[in-house]
Structure 1
Amino acid sequence: MFAPVHTALLLLTWTLLTSALAAAAQDLEPRAYSASPVGTNFIGIGFGRSSGEVAFDPTLPITNANATLYSPALGVGRTFGVLGKQALFTSTLPYAWGNISGDVGDQQGRISRSGLADVKTRLSINLRGSPAMTPAEFARRPHRRLILGTSLTMTSPSGQYDNTKLINLGTNRWSFKPEVGISYPLKKLDLDLYAGIWFFTPNKSFYTGHSSRSQDSLTAIQAHASYTFRRSLWAAIDATWYGGGASVVNDGVPSERQANTRLGATLALPITRRQSFKLSYSSGVTGNIGSKFNTIAGGWQYVWFGRP
Structure 2
Amino acid sequence: MKLITDNYLKAVITITLLLSSIYLYSQGDGPRAHLQSPIGVWAINPKYLHLDQNLLPNGNILVKNANINVDVFPTTLVHTFSIKGKFARVFGMINPGSLTATGNFEANSIQTSKELSASGFSDGFIAFEYGLIGSPGLNAFEFAEHKPQFNLNGFFRYWYSGTYDSNKLINLGTNRSTFEFGTTMTIPFHKDLSQNATWLEIMPTVQFYTDNNNPARSSTANKVAQKPLFIVENHLTHNLNKKLWIGADLRYQLGGETSADGVSDDNQINILGGGLNVGYQIIPPLSAFMGYDTILLGDNDAQSNMLRVSLVFAYINLKKINTK
- Structure-2-length-normalised TM-score: 0.78
Q: State how 1:185-200 maps to structure 2 within 5 Å.
A: 185-187=188-190, 188-200=197-209
> Is the Cα contact below 8 Å between 2:215 and 2:224 reproduced in 1?
yes
Query: In 1, are the aligned partners of 2:31 and 2:235 still within 8 Å (CA)?
Result: yes
Amino acid at match of 1:150: G
| 1:86-145 residue CA offsets vs partner (Å, 9 max, x unmatched) | 11111111012122112589975211111111222221112222211111211222x101
> C-alpha offsets along residues 197-251 of structure 1, whole Å, 9 cap, x if unaligned?
0110111222349711110100001111111223353211001010011111113
Counterpart Cα distance in 2 of 1:165 and 1:109: 12
Instruction: Indicate yes or no: 2:130 matched with 1:121.
Output: no
Letter in 2 for 1:221: V
Quick check: 1:147–1:184 contact (8 Å CA) kept in 2? Answer: yes
Percent of pairs with identical residues: 22
User: Match for residue 135 of structure 1?
Assistant: 140
Q: How does 1:150-161 map to 2 (within 5 A)?
A: 150-157=154-161, 159-161=162-164
Q: Which runs of 5+ in 2 are unaligned?
A: 1-24, 56-63, 191-196
C-alpha deviation, 1:37, in angstroms: 0.8
Could you say what secondary structure the match of 1:133 adopts? coil
Match of 1:241 among 240, 252, 257: 252
- Taking the aligned partners of 2:184 and 2:264, their CA distance within structure 1 comes to 35
Contact 1:33–1:126, Cα closer than 8 Å, also in 2: no
Alpha-carbon distance between aligned partners in 2 of 1:178 and 1:107, rounded to the nearest angstrom: 37
| Structure whose residues are more often strand by fraction | 1
Within the candidate set 277, 280, 286, 1:269 is matched to 280
Aligned residue for 1:154, secondary structure, equals strand
Deviation string for 1:277-297 (max 9, x for gaps)?
Answer: 111110011221374111101
Is the 1:153–1:178 Cα contact (8 Å) retained in structure 2? Answer: yes
Where does structure 1 lack aligned partners over 5 or more consecutive residues? Answer: 1-23, 55-61
Residue 285 of structure 1 contacts residue 292 of structure 1 at CA under 8 Å; is this kept in 2? no
Choose 233-242 or 282-291, whichever is displaced more: 282-291
| 1:68 matches 2:69 | yes
Q: In the superposition, relative to structure 1, how do residues 84 and 67 fare at CA in structure 2: closer, same or farther (>3 Å)?
A: same
Q: 1:82 to 1:74 in 2, by over 3 A?
A: same
Change beyond 3 A, Cα 1:209–1:136: farther
Task: Identify the residue that residue 57 of structure 1 maps to in structure 2.
Answer: none
Q: Distance in 2 between matches of 1:76 and 1:28?
A: 14
> Contact conserved, 1:28 with 1:264, CA < 8 A, in 2?
no
Q: Distance in 1 between matches of 2:268 and 2:313?
A: 40
